[in-house]
């Protein structure tokens, strides 16, 4: 086989491998970002829960202060029972005390509910914090795995690029320029096989019988008349 054709075939193998490695090198940082994003959203959920704990605490303090006010109001009203002049006033103060009692009862119920909520939230926060710590540790582990993989891919890329470039130097400059041009224009595939099906391995257009004979002889470089890729004959396995 023509030595330039052999070099082109090898170059294509390098470039196919490089494309796969480059795709992986591009994909892995996105994986790291996804790990960070998932952790950030878990952190956000934890923070939201903590914010709820704070606001419940604040609500509870407010309700307790309100209750103190109501209690003082009741004491005042009860003291006034001794100062009333007649039955009408007495009934009015009693009614007022009854209303204050109702208000106090309602306030006490609300405080109880808030205390229960506070206890429940305290448990939730402890669980959520423990879970977040586990997730954080897992994320760090996952990220380390991806980073290691990325380093391997980048190292391999450097090696394969070096091998590819030294192989490329074996070709005359115009041929290499042409190859690179086809590679870019044709989705990273510039050299394709033709087998007994007699179609271009790139664009599937039929190859004339005479061209097949020339391909088998492999004396000259041949290109597909349809897609412009370099062709080579592949014996049936």
Q: Which residues bind Zn ion (CB under 5 A)?
A: 200, 202-203, 224, 226-227
Parallel, antiparallel, or unpaired: how do β-strands 191-194 and 230-233 relate? parallel
Q: Cα–Cα distance between 80 and 93 in angstroms, integer? A: 7
**Beta carbon of residue 38, minimum distance to Zn ion (angstroms, whole number):** 45
Residue 52's SS3 state is: helix
Q: Which is nearer to Zn ion, 63 or 229 (CB)?
A: 229
Closer by beta carbon to Zn ion, 215 or else 227:
227
DSSP for residue 171: S
Nearer to Zn ion, 107 or 202 (CB): 202
Of 153 and 192, which CB lies nearer to Zn ion in the complex structure? 192
Closer of 28 and 207 to Zn ion (Cβ): 207
Minimum CB distance to Zn ion, residue 23 (Å): 24
The gap from C-alpha 48 to its chain's centroid, in whole angstroms, comes to 21
Q: How far apart are CA 5 and CA 117, in angstroms?
A: 77
Min CB(152)–Zn ion separation in Å? 35
Question: What does the alpha-carbon distance between residue 151 and residue 25 come to, in Å, rounded to a whole number?
Answer: 9
Please enumerate in sequence order all residues whose Cβ is within 8 A of that of 208, keeping only pairs 6 or more positions apart, or say none: none
Q: How far is the CB of 206 from Zn ion (least distance, A)?
A: 10
- CB distance 82 to 90 below 8 Å: no
The least distance separating Zn ion from the CB of residue 168, rounded to whole angstroms, comes to 22
Q: Which is nearer to Zn ion, 146 or 207 (CB)?
A: 207
Shortest distance (Å) from residue 217 CB to Zn ion:
19
């Amino acid at each position: 086989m023509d030595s330039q054709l052999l070099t082109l075939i090898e170059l294509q193998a390098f470039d196919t491998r490089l494309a796969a490695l480059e795709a992986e090198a591009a994909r892995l940082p996105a994986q790291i970002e996804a790990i960070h994003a998932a952790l950030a959203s878990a952190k956000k959920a934890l923070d939201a829960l903590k914010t709820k704990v704070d606001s419940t605490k604040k609500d509870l303090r407010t309700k307790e202060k309100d209750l103190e006010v109501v209690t003082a109001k009741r004491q005042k009203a009860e003291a006034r029972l001794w100062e009333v002049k007649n039955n009408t006033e007495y009934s009015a103060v009693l009614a007022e005390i009854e209303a204050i009692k109702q208000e106090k009862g309602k306030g006490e119920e609300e405080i109880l509910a808030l205390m229960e909520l506070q206890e429940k939230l305290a448990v939730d926060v402890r669980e959520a914090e423990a879970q977040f710590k586990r997730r954080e540790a897992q994320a760090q582990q996952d990220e380390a795995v991806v980073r290691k993989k990325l380093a391997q891919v980048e190292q391999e890329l450097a090696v394969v690029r070096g091998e590819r470039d030294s192989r490329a130097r074996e070709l005359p400059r115009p041929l290499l320029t042409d190859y690179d041009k086809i590679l870019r224009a044709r989705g990273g595939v510039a050299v394709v096989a033709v087998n007994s099906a007699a179609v271009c391995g790139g664009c599937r257009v039929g190859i004339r019988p005479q061209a097949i004979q020339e391909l088998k002889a492999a004396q000259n470089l041949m290109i597909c008349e349809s897609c412009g890729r370099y062709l080579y004959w592949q014996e049936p396995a």
